[in-house]
Structure 1
């Protein structure tokens, strides 16, 4: 796998439009020229894409030049990938079902005041 410190590639025209219709995690990596290992992607593909979305949340890329938007997408995809290359999905728990699996349980018969009407 290459370094994330490599200079960003120049993207062909229409890359952003193609990214919006990408059907697989591999397409995201190929379109954004982010190197990856299949063994990492096979285990954490949805977690990586979800984390990428979380990193992009709040970024308004509308009206931004395409090259800038693609560079930002490339950077956050590489960051999300590196996170899951170093940590397992269970360590990072990006999905609610995994977060809830470790949430503190209420004692049996406990009714919070907020639940009383």
Structure 2
């Protein structure tokens, strides 16, 4: 964990919105972009955190949140397809690996 922000994971429990997270991590943002895409930004951030596979580090979290926000500054929810409803709207279908199996005789 960062020595500069040793208790940042404790602080996270107090954050409720995308605006709260962006402000906490000191990321400048356009309120209009966040208002339109707040759930998408947080979900993308969550996805990035899952992919990082590291213990929580302030600078890593800040970088991944900024990256998630930037995804929606230059794009939109339909194009980014964070949620499955948007993937289906673009014609992308997914099947969970657990649903694939051998056919029983």
Shorter-chain TM band: 0.7 to 0.9
Instruction: Determine which structure has the larger helix proportion and give its number.
Output: 2
Provide runs of 4+ in structure 1 moved above 2 Å: 13-16, 58-62
* TM-score normalised by L of structure 2: 0.75
Gaps of 5+ in 2: 94-101
Structure 2 Cα separation of the partners of residues 44 and 104 of structure 1: 21
SS at match of 1:23: coil
Aligned length: 94
Flag the 1:84–1:73 CA change in 2: closer, same or farther, 3 A: same
Gaps of 5+ in 1: 1-9, 106-113
Residue 51 (1) aligns with residue 44 (2): yes
1:57-88 Cα offsets, whole Å, 9 max, x none, are 143443x6xxxx11001001111111100001
**Please, which of 70, 73, 77 is the counterpart of residue 61 of structure 2?**
73
